[in-house]
Structure 1
Amino acid sequence: MYTLENEGKLGRIFLAAMLGNAAVSLVKILGGLLSGSTALLADGSDSILNVASSGIAYHYYKRSRKPPDEKHPYGHVRFEVYGSILILLLMAATFSFVGFMAVDRLAHGEPELVDKIGIAFAVVSILLNALVSSLLRVHGRGSQIALAESRHVSLDVAEGVTTLAGVTLGSLFSAYYDLAATIIILGMVSYFIYETLQDLRSQIIDTSPPSEVLDAIREEAMRIHGVKGVHALRARVVGERIYADLHLEVDPHLSVEEAHRLCDELEKSIERRFEGRVDLTIHVEPAPSHG
């Protein structure tokens, strides 16, 4: 549940993540410039991007947790999806530029060996990335965008290991190893973008919850004395909530007051079972006659 306390806590987490990513990016960019490593520069570009994406993530997290209002009667949860898409667009733009840098370096013949000082910078950056990722993963539970940001920074750890290998081999044997590490990093980022888009797709196109959820709603309805049947049950997942609607069949001779009582009973039953995560809309209709 969104509270000012949670907002303040996550705000401090994202601020710490931004400061951590700023430190990481400084280490990587400086290491790339001093050692001549394209892989470190590529990794550093991603860390600079992390600073911006942490700010975007927190901004849209706050907006998504606002309660429903007249203009947004179903809440603001999809602002998280919008923020996640902005982060992906930034990533795509940044790494298109990094890819151009790698191709340009290849076009000018075999580059010089990478300076061994880059190895130290790569090791330090891995440790800093691991710390930032752990911070977001542990303290950002319950937020889709915080989890996405944690996965993004976790990717940086894998990128850092690849960078370390590329810088080490590039300083000992050939700078082509460093360029190969750059290409691998670009591949990792591309896969991350694809996976995140797959996750966001379910939020954008109103995916149905697991069949067990629908079965549980139907089961709760049929437990209520006076309910003759349930049909046209459907539901969609929006963020952490589920919006469901159904047709409730009752005795044709039941009064409006009695039918309303059955609906109230079902709503309370669903609220208890799903801990308030299901928003249920009920349409009452007379049960079909079998005589």
Structure 2
Amino acid sequence: MTTQNFKKIKQVLWIILFANLAVALLKIIIGSSIKSASMTADGFHSLTDGSSNIVGLIGISLASKPVDEDHPYGHKKFETLSGLFIAGMLLFIGGKIVFTAIGRFVNPVAPQITIESLITLAVTLAINIFVSTYEYKQGKNLNSYILISDSLHTRSDIYVSIGVIFTLICVKLGLPAIIDPIASLVVSGFIFHASYEIFSSAGGILVDKAVIDTSKVKEIALEFEEVKGVHKIRSRGSENEMYVDMHILIEPKMSVEKSHELIHLLEKKMQKEINQNLQVTVHIEPFYNKSETANSLKF
């Protein structure tokens, strides 16, 4: 990822931060004034979006640092660590909402529904749709893990807000006040789900989960006539920094210069067909006969 990309990611995060803070404050103020636990919970959920943007800005600042002696592979995993921190924040907020909802089951409070509150939710819903769509597209364009994961988190706000609007309308139509804390539990469910998705995605990167189908790598490598066999294929990383290492069998008399050229051509082809940010490390082995090749191709 280039320095220019990091700058663009920061710009996107600043824009999304101000949008999320405006949405969150609006929901919390309106929710508290009409005594709606579900709307207030939705507001705190939106507030975590703003907090996650701040964490993202810190993470991107660290991730953008150049390679140094202590970090020969760079600092890009700080972006992934930021995602884990965001997931932890979501887990905490989700738990807090659950406890609040339980209290409302014991002492239910009927929310005061107004046309203004419904309009407020509709406006914030429209903002969330814009924020989620914009951030996701920018994340894809810039190959940014933090933007993509944060946009998926924001997307959960859309479904949550729809649920809150539905709940308030139901209360307005005469349904019992207990539907409000039930909606709060639904909100917490979305938050827990968002937390799980981020934990799962970030965890896969940090524990070096395979990111490429080995059959695809093998297929590309064997398209080169000089490659007689491929084995021990491994991959790790993320969309913006992907690594593959493997062993290939070639004619034992091939020169070092030709072997070097072959590896460069192989890497360029994989970058074109799999991911432009892919880095390939190849271990060369001599090819002698069919029986040895068959044995070496076992994974």
Q: Give the structure-2-normalised TM-score.
A: 0.84
Shift of 1:136: 0.8
Query: What does residue 264 of structure 2 align with?
Result: 267
Query: What does residue 177 of structure 2 align with?
Result: 175
Taking the aligned partners of 2:105 and 2:99, their CA distance within structure 1 comes to 10
Matched, 1:165 2:163: no
State the superposition RMSD in angstroms: 2.4
Shift of 1:9: 2.3
Contact 2:64 2:75 in 1 (8 A): yes
Measured against aligned partners, the alpha-carbon deviations of 1:10-46 in whole angstroms (never above 9, x if no partner) come to: 2221111110011101110011111100001100101
Aligned residue pairs, count: 282
Query: What does residue 94 of structure 1 align with?
Result: 93
Specify whether residues 238 and 289 from structure 1 end up closer, same or farther in structure 2 by C-alpha distance, changes over 3 A only: same
**In terms of mean alpha carbon deviation, does 241-250 or 119-128 score higher?**
241-250
Taking the aligned partners of 2:85 and 2:233, their CA distance within structure 1 comes to 31
Q: Secondary structure at the match of 1:243?
A: strand
Specify whether residues 134 and 162 from structure 1 end up closer, same or farther in structure 2 by C-alpha distance, changes over 3 A only: same
**In terms of mean alpha carbon deviation, does 270-279 or 127-136 score higher?**
270-279
Taking the aligned partners of 1:277 and 1:175, their CA distance within structure 2 comes to 53
Measured against aligned partners, the alpha-carbon deviations of 1:100-147 in whole angstroms (never above 9, x if no partner) come to: 111112222x32343324323222221221222122122232211101
Query: What does residue 114 of structure 1 align with?
Result: 112
Measured against aligned partners, the alpha-carbon deviations of 1:53-80 in whole angstroms (never above 9, x if no partner) come to: 0121233234334443322222333222
Shift of 1:287: 3.0
Contact 1:233 1:246 in 2 (8 A): yes
Q: Secondary structure at the match of 1:96?
A: helix
Taking the aligned partners of 1:249 and 1:203, their CA distance within structure 2 comes to 29
Shift of 1:244: 2.3
Alignment of 1:1-291 (within 5 A): 1-4=1-4, 6-108=5-107, 110-116=108-114, 117-141=116-140, 142-173=143-174, 174-208=176-210, 209-220=212-223, 222-224=224-226, 227=227, 229-240=228-239, 241-253=241-253, 258-275=255-272, 276-288=276-288
Amino acid at match of 2:177: A
> Is there any run of 5+ residues in structure 2 with no aligned partner, and where?
292-299
Taking the aligned partners of 2:161 and 2:289, their CA distance within structure 1 comes to 69
Q: Give the structure-1-normalised TM-score.
A: 0.87
Taking the aligned partners of 2:12 and 2:100, their CA distance within structure 1 comes to 33
Contact 1:78 1:238 in 2 (8 A): no
Query: What does residue 294 of structure 2 align with?
Result: none
Structure 1: which 4+ aligned runs deviate by more than 6 Å? Answer: none
> Is there any run of 5+ residues in structure 1 with no aligned partner, and where?
none
Specify whether residues 65 and 233 from structure 1 end up closer, same or farther in structure 2 by C-alpha distance, changes over 3 A only: farther
Shift of 1:84: 0.6
**Identity level (%):** 22
